[in-house]
Amino acid sequence: MDVPGWLWALTILGIAGLLAFDLVFHVRRAHVPTLREAAVWSAAYVGVALLFGVGVLVFGPREAGPEYFAGYVTEQALSVDNLFIFLVIMAGFRVPREDQQKALMFGIVVSLIVRTAFIFLGAALINAFAWIFYLFGLILLIAAGSILRPDDRADSRKADNVVIRIAKKFLHTTEHYDGDRLFTTVDGRRAMTPMLLVMVAIGGTDMFFALDSIPAIFGLTQSVYIVFTATAFSLLGLRQLYFLIEGLLDRLVYLSYGLAAILGFIGVKLILHALHENNVPFVNDGEPVSVFEISTQLSLAVIVAVLVVTVVASLLSPMGKAHTAIANARRHATAYLDSEYTHDPAERERIFRKLLSERDQILALGPKYRQLVRDEPGLIDLLDRAAANHDEAVDRGEAAPFTRMGLTS
């Protein structure tokens, strides 16, 4: 797909404009996005991505449209998986709720820059070495296998991975935040706040995700323009999506299986393509191998079907509902007890209402799942302390009265 320079310039200008709009009208003012705000802007960014895809479908070559949509859906699914890590980092660094947007925005910009570099590097490798498809396919098959290993999966979601440990070692910060500022003054000396460390952690961690996502999308299309735009549009709405589905992330208990299936499928597709274009001397004497190649249309159908099945299965699973309620209860109780998490009384009330909602969800699931709460170390004490803290706020006239938690009864 030959793309003229003016179209590249217009596309880059448009993406930069969307980022600037986000920064000026949403991120610059520290606030907690409402569910409605997150939903409207998530839908808007998805709409822009789909309209762009329609344009590619209408004005581009025959294969360009399906390739873009297959790439966009795949990158969007992998981006949702990124949100798990962002959530853990935010909790691990106790980022105030009002300031989380700025940290996410920085992470998205860094991610876009890093992935763009990886895209052009990947394209250069593909043009220079046909065997690179074998390597990309192998990377995706290994990634698919690692996703299915629970220990590796758990380790990847800790807010103490190698990027963060390096950042902590070289970036000495203050103990407390100063709004969303990156620097503050302590005892007359200029010092970095934890916000800078959070931004480095989010941006750096996303570099590791690019090692999976870039080979994955190159397995669906070799057009640099389509790879770039599909990746960019999947990242643009990630900040809004974080606040929209934050409470549902733990509900997607089968998402890892779906992502593993998608990465494995694309890995096989890449290896088949490598065999079809083979020039490696020790494979079939350097001659192409006549094998079945998976079409872009079939790839798109498989990717969408796998995602639909895994998401629906996750949403309907009682165990998924229980794990979601328990994980969110722990998160909201911790946030409610953290005096620095938010200074907005309305936000504190929202957090406690969410905690009560999660209590009701667990109780509605029956005794089997209430036992999961009892089996969670420290969770019962955490919930009791949140309830006691709220009772004290009620006595001071700072909060509306609610019924006791009742999670352990």
Q: Which of 292, 234, 281, 276 is nearest to 81 (CA)?
A: 234
Of 231-235, 292-296, 376-380, give the range with the top mean pLDDT: 231-235
pTM: 0.74
Cβ–Cβ < 8 Å for 157, 270: no
Through-space distance between the first and last CA atoms of the chain, rounded to whole angstroms: 63
In the structure, what pLDDT confidence band is assigned to residue 340 with cuts at 50, 70 and 90? low
Instruction: Using alpha carbons only, give the angle 90, 245, 255 rounded to the nearest 5 degrees.
Output: 95
* Beta strands per DSSP E along 137-177: none
- DSSP structural state of residue 27: I
Q: Is the pLDDT of residue 157 over 50?
A: no
Structure tokens at 13: 């200008």
Structure tokens at 355: 């905690």
Q: What pLDDT digit, counting tens, does each position of 111-155 carry?
A: 888 888 889 998 888 888 878 888 888 988 988 887 776 544 444
| pLDDT of res. 48 | 94
Q: Is the pLDDT of residue 314 over 80?
A: yes
In 10 A of CB 15, how many CB atoms? Answer: 18
Structure tokens at 77: 């699914």
Q: Which of 203, 204, 206, 199 is nearest to 177 (CA)?
A: 199
| pLDDT of res. 56 | 93
Structure tokens at 366: 């029956």
